[in-house]
Structure 1
């Protein structure tokens, strides 16, 4: 005869209690979220409770401070959250919540809490939210021709799949493709210098811009001469202009291959015919050097022909008609010489650049207008040196035609 022993009463009581406990639960999926600043976050959540209980209130909370009694504030009543928090669940099983326009201050652990007609419940573990911004990590400088990689970094790995986009000087880089969160620039050019920032497709947050400095040796070295027409005794300025990064540390001047001076500006006061010749400059920075093309400096002698003609004419006038004849000849020649600046020497009458001028139809007003025409100043780094007075001698054998 076998006897079945009934379990002790305490054990039965514990089994009943644990069965009830297993029906109280809150679960989150995922339990950790990394979200981008200014984005919206959905915290998926489900909960269960024993039958026979009636849900009176549901809300999301966070433990602000541990005191003698824990406080569980309703975030929907908090001014910092009330306009951004939206409860998407119900009072049966779903407790999902959306939080919009998250900030770095929103990084916290959040809990779902519900109150029944008999009891209150909060899950033992909540959902951890980490909010991150974006930062561009890149070298400060890169040498032209080398490759460089820029990285769009965040403090945590974004939960949602992210497609990164890049900007240079606030313009999207449509011609470049990124590799994950990296931007690879191969064979960097001077034009690649600028302020780079990154973002995630579909989000408004853009990282702070970081400047990428592209360094290169001197190039496009050229010489400008002022004034363009040089007469013996004038002061002449030669300016050396170059494109380099960093700016040229040293500039040297050469005449016919012989060193004559240094500095961006080379000046000659009271120039003479001995100063005529070919000049060029050499621009040097820490990454290389480059010579300019040679320019020819021609020094003209002072013209004294006009005064000689007047003296000879006066003598002829004396012989032909005495003092009155000399005076008339002087007046005629003087007026003729005054008209000569308005006359244009044209080697080819069919040339389109200038048209022969009829001195009978010319007026002082037209002449004044013609004499104010200047060549357009070159656009280069020497703008601050008064390029409006410079004339670039690209072909020394061809002099610019000017009104005499």
Structure 2
């Protein structure tokens, strides 16, 4: 029996000679990074590997138990076997989280046996930590940024402030440098630290005064508001004033608080106003603001009355011009009608029914070929009648002012005596001679008294 056992050991060298082994080391990984747990294994030469796997020790009900990684709840591709079935048994863990820390074991099966590592590979998880020294500074002080990884393996880091890359980790702080700083692994910017704020303090600056309302009338109220940029914020405001007519050359304190209220202002409030803002670091003054109080306008009612009078005068003037124009237009129309009646109405168009033309007579001349001379009636007419006749040559202003009682048109016959030209016998004979003669007719127009 002993001989048989010895033969078996000779035929299968290494089976019981201690060639079974798994070698791995502990790893430290940053949260959010990827890590590879290095591992090597060995087995007898006459064996063939048929299965490999990793497991993790967990505490369940106070006891340690091993669970295959394939059975643990985890995101896809979180655990990836990157070894082979000959000698490399490395394991890669992606997006490492604190839950991934612990002890890991490698197990492999061969055609003749199963082997599990005796020692575990421990994974520790750390985070990048940002240190800002000091975290609160006064403007002009120096600041140093330090990034601590927690793992012994050095890494290259970069700095960010409010998401923007920062080139220097040591600098002189200004108010624009205030913000949140963090460090990250170069090439793996998602592997980053938590943010740390840098607080840069400075005196109150850019102090300004606003006035509400901007234009102040005597008797009204006004509010002056003081604003400033400061860190920490201004905790006190003091107001000073200097009157324009004041004999005091220095400014006097007139109030405190961010808002200075002046109710029912008068001329004495006119002057320069200044605001002083202060915080823990010190104080600063604003520029001076001039407050001008306008007097009330006592002549406002008088101006309204004058405006009303002016408007009334303007309306009266317009109406006067309109009436004058209408009167001139009426006079021109009447004159045109009168002129048309004098010049446009011929003797042949005289209507006996017209009251004006009812007593107009036309007598034919005795000699058609010769022009009639002036009638005896014309010659013997008194000088007053001729004067009246000439006066009526010009058109009167109104047509109803001229009234004609009798108009006698008598052609003169040169063969008859002068005194017979006016006889009724001649008129009868001439009327028989013809009424359609085209001879020139001279007449005398007499106006009744």
Give 1:114-129 correspondences, 5 Å limit.
114-129=108-123
Matched, 1:165 2:151: no
Following superposition, the deviation at residue 209 of structure 1 comes to 2.6
**Partner Cα distance (2:147, 2:203) in 1:** 30
Tell me the TM-score normalised to structure 1 length. Answer: 0.64
**Partner Cα distance (2:276, 2:75) in 1:** 66
Q: What secondary structure, in the 3-state scheme, does the structure 2 residue paired with 1:274 have?
A: helix
Post-superposition Cα deviations, 1:275-302, rounded to whole Å, max 9, x if no partner, equal 1111101001110100111111111222
**Partner Cα distance (2:29, 2:293) in 1:** 74
Q: Choose 1 or 2 for highest CA Rg.
A: 2
When structure 1 is superposed on structure 2, of 192-201 and 16-25 the one drifting more is: 16-25
Residue number in structure 2 paired with 1:194: 179
Q: What secondary structure, in the 3-state scheme, does the structure 2 residue paired with 1:64 have?
A: strand
Residue number in structure 1 paired with 2:19: 23
Q: In 2 relative to 1, CA 271–52 (structure 1 residues): closer, same or farther, beyond 3 Å?
A: same
Tell me the TM-score normalised to structure 2 length. Answer: 0.58
Following superposition, the deviation at residue 88 of structure 1 comes to 2.0
Segments of 5+ residues of structure 2 without an aligned counterpart are 1-8, 243-250, 316-449
Following superposition, the deviation at residue 224 of structure 1 comes to 1.5
Residue number in structure 2 paired with 1:297: 291
Equivalent of residue 91 in structure 1, options 62, 65, 85: 85
Contact 1:75 1:81 in 2 (8 A): no
Contact 1:113 1:122 in 2 (8 A): yes
Residue number in structure 1 paired with 2:40: 46
Residue number in structure 2 paired with 1:342: none
Contact 1:310 1:330 in 2 (8 A): no
Q: What secondary structure, in the 3-state scheme, does the structure 2 residue paired with 1:248 have?
A: coil
Equivalent of residue 263 in structure 1, options 251, 257, 266: 257
Equivalent of residue 138 in structure 2, options 135, 140, 143: 143
**Partner Cα distance (2:50, 2:93) in 1:** 23
Post-superposition Cα deviations, 1:230-259, rounded to whole Å, max 9, x if no partner, equal 221111111111111111111100012111
Segments of 5+ residues of structure 1 without an aligned counterpart are 1-12, 178-182, 315-326, 335-404
What is the count of residue pairs matched by the alignment? 294
Q: In 2 relative to 1, CA 127–22 (structure 1 residues): closer, same or farther, beyond 3 Å?
A: same
Following superposition, the deviation at residue 113 of structure 1 comes to 1.9
Contact 1:37 1:133 in 2 (8 A): yes
- Structure number with greater CO (CA < 8 Å, separation at least 6) is 1
**Partner Cα distance (1:207, 1:70) in 2:** 33
**Partner Cα distance (1:95, 1:310) in 2:** 104
**Partner Cα distance (1:330, 1:304) in 2:** 22
Q: In 2 relative to 1, CA 234–70 (structure 1 residues): closer, same or farther, beyond 3 Å?
A: closer
**Partner Cα distance (2:47, 2:64) in 1:** 24
Q: In 2 relative to 1, CA 265–54 (structure 1 residues): closer, same or farther, beyond 3 Å?
A: same
Contact 2:14 2:44 in 1 (8 A): no
Contact 2:57 2:102 in 1 (8 A): no
Following superposition, the deviation at residue 107 of structure 1 comes to 0.7
Contact 1:76 1:82 in 2 (8 A): no
Matched, 1:230 2:216: yes
Residue number in structure 2 paired with 1:133: 127
